[in-house]
Structure 1
């Protein structure tokens, strides 16, 4: 075996891997590889590690790493006055590349964000109060659900809602509280308000603070005692004044009526007691009521309505008819 084929410059192998050799240099490398099985094995191992080193980060300079390793080895050789065979250099380059790969892999994995788990709270027959990761408190009505991340992002606190819920939001000007319900977005900083979704209709009632309601790039700003109801096909956002506090019944166990029409109280009672109360005469629908029911039974409430409006309560086939 010729001296050239027994010893080959390790940097030449790297140039060959990078495709930077001349035709003569490439021929020399190929001849060296084929000259002995150990050469082929050594080259294959170097090639594999060299290829792997480029998978993680393009910012890592393998050549710089190798130069530092070679300089340190050269200093050690000068002190000992010995000359090492070229295959030792190849393994040292492989060691240097292992360092590069390990550093690149570590940087890669550290840069990956841990997946954020989504939590879902769902109610069935009873309301439920839950505290969110930021300290905000939400009370869910029956048959409702919210989904939110285990840890809120810095730029916003996003919630998805189905059904009805009352929110008491912890103030944070740097991270708005955002609720998505149907095709409506509700955005606040720190406030309390009620949101109800039913058959594609979204209703928002504000108790304290300011709430932005957004649909199709149109924005309505609600203040305390203001309400908005948005149907799926609505193109205009119209807000109104909310006088009573019927929206709060599932949270306070109170029905507070302030000159409230009968139909509105009946809707709240049906939702709260899962009942089927009907108004038998059209003339009764808008009869006003000013009264507060505090955790009363449905029969007690119906008796008081009957006496107040001088009407009859008829129970028939699972229905309750006011007439």
Structure 2
């Protein structure tokens, strides 16, 4: 008699320790029905066990991500049989802790192992948002004082980044090379998506807001056990540094968007003061002009699915002006139009 089929969502919940007692009992009953030796890893050297474990989780995650992109379905028994050995590795060992050297190095530690000439360090020392491009075509719109470190050339199987401050990431999709960002003790893992990270060094709460795609956030918890949440669009994760508490929630709908959320807007010979009013109405910002005379400058532009930083860059280029940003306050500086 073959064991019952198990859904990929239930397997994922079990791996993330998010099952109810009834669901946990169901999954463990399925494990118990499988034939084979589950403790053979006890006899392997630690290094070999860790290597097998890392490969195991890559395979599990790949299958779960593939299932996530398709309509909900039950796993076929042939696939489950192939995955059984991988799942049993989890039972024989423990859940991967990305913050513990006995399992694997953190993103920051892996970057520190590289020679200095193999790394790129960038800090936004300007008072505006700077769009910084990464080797794989991804980009990050960095607020003032944000800092990023990454290899000059990403590796063949992963893309590792250390980041602090606030920035909006737009990641190029590459299933063969997961993109991982470490901010303090928080690790963000994606394949191809866009999201905003708020992780200033002195801040007590780190925040991740997802705009598109799926994001996995992992943080340390109590007793060296990691916490993990999976975020979809319009969801956010909050990590309290002091208590090491990680929560996820739906981003509340609001009348005005955050600066990283894209909008479509058209201006036809529109004076700058009218443009400012529309941008303030659309985004959660306050905009002022250093010289009232530039308010009469007119602009014609069609912005299709653009976040506020992109709109500001194009406006300032057109007007030969510049802007600075502090929190949600923006100041545009320029000379009057002829």
- Give the TM-score taking structure 1 as reference length: 0.43
Indicate the structure with greater helix content.
1
Q: Which has the higher contact order (CA 8 A, sep 6+)?
A: 2
**Structure number with larger C-alpha Rg:** 1
